[in-house]
Amino acid sequence: MEREISCRHCQTHNRLDVEEALRNPDAARCGRCKGNLFLGPAEVYTGLDPRSYEHPLDRQALEALRRVPGTGTFLRFLLKHGLDRTYRLLMKQNFLEVRADRVKSIHSIVEDTARRLDLGCVPETYLVQHPQPNAWTTGVERYQLCLTTSLVELLDEAELRAVVAHEVGHMQAGHVLYKTAGAILYYLVGTLLSRTTSLAAPLLIGMYYAFRKWERCAELTGDRAELLVTRDYRTCLRAHLKLASGSPKTMPELNIEHLLAQAKEVEELSDQNWLDQLIIDWQQAGMTHPFTVWRAKHIDQWAHSGELWEVASGNYRRRTAPNVRVVDADIPEEKPGKFKKLFDDLKDLFK
């Protein structure tokens, strides 16, 4: 498969062999000036606008979420009362914060990744003792990145960098406000449903599933950030494969080609039988992440797309203003009085 790429140095159009570029992006050079076609592993995506790599399903799901009654009021409530601070205080009290003089090997990965995606800051990073390999990000005033100890043990350095890039991608793409709101909503929803009026219950349930749907789609944008930083889709797929089925005993036998083949099998099943598609949708409805095979499919598709190589070559949409973390204009406007009873109940929980 070939793509046409403009040289970022002399603007000459070049024919790019995508498979060869995937194997060795540093070897891709302009036929005229011999300059590197793609940004190197140490170069910064200066002024990168997240819309340059945002997955279309992410944007569609976010627009649907913004239309759910109560979403805007809930987000403004979160900002006004600073509820995101609960997570930061929890991390500060329980787990070691990674800094330049503490666990330097991880801090350097986080610092370099934030620099490459032009985040504008280095997120607070915490090492969390937990048997499940996982990573997540929260924080509105300050970004927090959490990595579990089992994740660090499971992945090699390149794979860990991919996971960190995924989380920094969430920050760079402006996901953190909505992800933090979603995490707090999930925590509160059980208590609230037992205490609020019948009017509030459907609002909460609708908001809950809308947040879940958006989070699954936002993961696809985070996966694209992995590709931008690592420039190696095999590393990204290997990290996802390990997180799904990794074991020290079977690690040498894991093969990303098998994962991609399985993704194709599942896609064919869903295409051939509407009931299978219905079951798949039902199984994912309450989840925050898509199933592994679907993520593998989307990573593979973007790795072979011209869109990835345009961004990697420096030809991307740039921000018109410095990267801001919370944009009030991105929160849907609502009449607060419409949801007064619901948010009075929320306030009571924190008295």
The first and second tokens of residue 84, run together, are: 């995101």
What's the pLDDT tens digit per position in 87-117? 788 889 999 999 999 999 999 999 999 999 9
Listing DSSP states for 284-308 in one string gives: HTT-SS--HHHHHHHHHHHHTSHHH
Taking the C-alpha atoms of residue 221 and residue 50, their distance in angstroms, rounded to an integer, is 9
| Cα→Cα distances 235→25, 132, 163, 247, 248, Å | 14, 20, 10, 17, 17
Q: How confident is the model at residue 333 (pLDDT cuts 50, 70, 90)?
A: low
Q: How confident is the model at residue 323 (pLDDT cuts 50, 70, 90)?
A: low
Q: Using alpha carbons, select from 48, 55, 58, 123 the residue that is nearest to residue 88.
A: 123
Phi-psi region of 82 (alpha: psi -120 to 50; beta: other; left: phi over 0): left
Residues spanned by the domain of 204:
39-349
| Cα→Cα distances 256→18, 34, 141, 226, 248, Å | 18, 33, 38, 16, 16
Asked if residue 223 is part of any domain, the answer here is: yes
Asked if residue 62 is part of any domain, the answer here is: yes
Taking the C-alpha atoms of residue 172 and residue 210, their distance in angstroms, rounded to an integer, is 22
Asked if residue 5 is part of any domain, the answer here is: no
Taking the C-alpha atoms of residue 180 and residue 201, their distance in angstroms, rounded to an integer, is 21
Asked if residue 260 is part of any domain, the answer here is: yes
* Mean pLDDT, the chain, whole residue set: 85
Residue 302, pLDDT above cutoff 90:
yes
For the chain, what is the domain count? 1
Taking the C-alpha atoms of residue 6 and residue 306, their distance in angstroms, rounded to an integer, is 11
Asked if residue 29 is part of any domain, the answer here is: no
How crowded is the C-beta side of 39, counted as CA atoms within 13 Å?
23
Predicted TM-score of the model (pTM): 0.87
Listing DSSP states for 42-58 in one string gives: T---TTB-GGGT--HHH
User: Contact 77/252 with Cβ under 8 angstroms?
Assistant: no
Listing DSSP states for 146-158 in one string gives: EEEHHHHHHS-HH
| Cα→Cα distances 184→61, 151, 191, 247, 344, Å | 19, 24, 12, 32, 16
Region 303-318 average pLDDT: 90
Comparing 98 with 181, the larger pLDDT belongs to 98
The first and second tokens of residue 75, run together, are: 């987000």
Taking the C-alpha atoms of residue 334 and residue 90, their distance in angstroms, rounded to an integer, is 31
Taking the C-alpha atoms of residue 228 and residue 305, their distance in angstroms, rounded to an integer, is 13
Asked if residue 34 is part of any domain, the answer here is: no
Judged by average pLDDT, the poorest of 149-163, 189-203, 277-291 is 189-203
